[in-house]
Structure 1
C-alpha cells in the first residue's frame, strides 16, 4: 500500500509509524535497568501490530480491560496478562475461569463480594486463580480503601481457588492537578501509598511480590516510588490532546489523528468537517473546551481554529484564523482521548512521511 493522504477516504484514522515507534522506544528506555516491569494497557491500540512492537521492546505482558482483549491476546500467545477489571457477574466469572485455565491470567479484586463467586467457580474447575488486590490511592473508582486493605486481602486469600499476588492501583486522580510539578508529586504519593499497603500485607503474613501502578501521566512518578514493581501506562503509544495538556508529551509526539475534510463553510467563522463524534469519540475533557486539536495535514495546529463540538458525522470548527478553511480542505484532528477514539474504529491506516503505507486491524472492540 502506498497512497498520498489526499487519496484516502475521509474520515480515516491514521497512526504515524515513526512517532509510534519513538513513543514505544522512549517508554521502554525509561524503565530499562530500573527493575520495574512494563505492562502496557492494550486498550489504547487494540492492535496486534502495536502490541507486538511493545513486546519486542521489552514489555512483560499486557493489562486488559475486557474479556475480548484477554482472549485476543491469549490467541496471539501472550502468556502474562492482568485483567484489571473486576470479574463480576456469571458470564465474566465463567470467562475468568476459562482464561485462567489457558494460563498466565491474573485478575483484579477489591472485595469478598466480588471474589466469592470466582472462588466457587475456580474450585469447581479445579483451578487456582491469581489476583491482585485493587487499592484506591485517590481516584475513587474501583479499589478498597487503604485502611481496609489488610482485612479485605485476608478475607479474599482465605477463599479456596484464589491466590493473592500483590496490589495494584490506577492513579488517575493525579490528572486533576493543573501544574505538572503537583501532578508528579501526587504520582509519587500514590506509588508510596500503594507500597505501604503491600508492606502492611507482608507484615500480616501475606506474600505480595507485585506492586503495580498504572497511568501515562503518572509514568514518570508513581512507578519510581521505592518498592513499586511494575507500571501499566497505555496512552503513551499514541498520546493525545489530553496528554499534551497534562505535560506528558508534546504535540509532536502524538501519533494518532483523524483525517477529515471540510464539507461546508456556509457560516462566517465556522467550518464543518466530516469527522464527528463517531470518528473521535465523545470523550471530551471538561477543561479543554474542545473535542481535539485541529491541525493541517502535517499535524501543525491551525492558528485560530478550535474544534468546539460534533454531531455523529459532523465536526464543528470555529475558524478565527488568518487563513480561512475552504470546502475540500484536509485537516488532521488530534483526539482528546486516544483510547476512546480507537474503540470507534475497525482499522487504522499507517502513515510514514505523509504517505499511507499500511492498514492494521483494530480488534477486541466493544
Structure 2
C-alpha cells in the first residue's frame, strides 16, 4: 500500500496531526545570524547537517557562507555528495568493514575527511586505503571535557604519530565536541567559560602537534551551546554548530536562544480528557525525541496554536502515538484543541519525520523532504 498523499499547503489548523512545522522566518534569521557571527570573526562555519537533514535548509546555509557540512552517517555523506557539496567532515569513526569500505571509496572521490581517535581504529582503514591506492584525510578527535570519544589531550601527540605513520592516512587537524556544556543549565557564564576553555585546550593540542611536525590546518570545535565561546578561542579555525538552525527547548534552557528563536515545532491535537489534569494528545515519542539532555521531566515545551507557552502545562510523558500533558493549566484544554510542542532536541526529532511543513504565521507555504534518515 502506498503512503498517503499529503494535503496541499493551506493553513496550520487544516493540517493532519501530528505534523512537523518549520517557521521559515525564524529559520532564515537563525542562519543569517550565525553566518554573520563567524564571518566577522574569521572562523569558518561547517554546520552539522544532522539537525535538518533537509536540502532546502542546507542550501540556505551554503548560500549564507557555510564552507561545507559536518555529517554523522554515511547516508548523510552520500546524500550531500549527490547534491554537489564537495567539503564534508564525517565526525564519526569509520569502524567496521562496511564503514571502512565506504570511507575509502568516498575518500577516493575526494572532498571527505574522516574522524579517528585511536591507532586501533585507524589500522583497518589504513590497510584498506593502502590496498586501494588511496590516501584518506583524517582529523584526530580530542576529549576536551565531554569524554564521549576522543583521545586525552596528553596522549594526542603519541596517538597522532602512530596514526600518521600510515602512508595511506593524512592528518589534517584536530576536532572536539564540547558536549559537556549541556550540563550548565542556569549558569550561562559558567557555560561560556567552559566553552572557551575547550577551544583553548584544543588549540594547545594543535600547537603541540605542529611542533611535532604535523601539518595541522583544521582546529574544529562543534556545538550550539558553545557557538558563542569555543570558536573564539585563539587558534580555532572552524565551528560545527547544528541545532542553531532550529534551536529547541534544550537551547532555551541553556540560554543559547529564546523561545522566539525556536523554528521547529510539532503540531498536535488533544484527543482525550478522561482524568483531571491529564490530557492526551496525538503526538508521542514517535513524533518527538525522547532525548531530554537539559530537560527534567519533560518531552518538550507546550504552546498554544500560535506558539505562546501554556502556563502550568507539562509534556510529562509519552507512548508511541500518545502524549500526556499534565499540570493545573491542562484543565483549560478541550478535545480538538491544537497545541504546538517545542521539542527538547531538534536533531532527534527531525530523524523521526520524512518531511516538514513550512509555515508563515497561520499559512502553510511549502513542504520540504527530510533525507538520509536511519
Range into which the TM-score falls when normalised by the shorter chain: over 0.9
Matched, 1:4 2:3: no
Greater displacement, 322-331 / 235-244: 322-331
1:139 match: 146
Of 186, 194, 198 in structure 1, the residue corresponding to residue 194 of structure 2 is 186
TM-score in terms of structure 2 length: 0.96
Greater displacement, 74-83 / 287-296: 287-296
Matched, 1:357 2:327: no
1:244 match: 252
Matched, 1:100 2:107: yes
1:321 deviates by 1.8
Of 46, 64, 70 in structure 1, the residue corresponding to residue 53 of structure 2 is 46
1:319 deviates by 3.8
Matched, 1:57 2:57: no
Matched, 1:201 2:209: yes
SS in 2 for 1:33: helix
1:285 deviates by 3.3
Of 310, 318, 322 in structure 2, the residue corresponding to residue 310 of structure 1 is 318
1:322 deviates by 8.1
Of 7, 26, 31 in structure 1, the residue corresponding to residue 33 of structure 2 is 26
Q: Unaligned regions of 5+ residues in structure 2, if any?
A: 1-7
Structure 2 CA distance for aligned equivalents of residues 325 and 220 of structure 1:
39
Structure 2 CA distance for aligned equivalents of residues 215 and 287 of structure 1:
17
Q: Unaligned regions of 5+ residues in structure 1, if any?
A: none
Contact 1:271–1:319 (8 Å) recurs in 2: no
The two structures, once aligned, show a CA RMSD in angstroms of 1.0
2:219 match: 211
Greater than 4 Å deviation, 4+ residue runs: none
1:174 deviates by 1.6
Structure 2 CA distance for aligned equivalents of residues 21 and 10 of structure 1:
25
SS in 1 for 2:29: helix
Structure 1 CA distance for aligned equivalents of residues 330 and 96 of structure 2:
56
Please list, as runs of the form range in 1=range in 2, the aligned pairs for 1:224-235 lying within 5 A after superposition: 224-235=232-243
CA distance change for structure 1 residues 322 and 242 in 2, over 3 Å: closer, same or farther?
Answer: closer
Greater displacement, 277-286 / 75-84: 277-286
Deviations 1:265-291 (A, max 9, x none): 111111100000000021123642200
1:289 match: 297
SS in 1 for 2:31: helix
Contact 2:9–2:367 (8 Å) recurs in 1: no
Matched, 1:174 2:181: yes
1:353 deviates by 2.0
Structure 2 CA distance for aligned equivalents of residues 98 and 320 of structure 1:
57
SS in 2 for 1:280: coil
Contact 1:36–1:230 (8 Å) recurs in 2: yes
1:229 deviates by 0.2
Structure 2 CA distance for aligned equivalents of residues 121 and 336 of structure 1:
40
Of 1, 18, 37 in structure 1, the residue corresponding to residue 44 of structure 2 is 37
2:122 match: 115
Of 166, 171, 175 in structure 2, the residue corresponding to residue 164 of structure 1 is 171
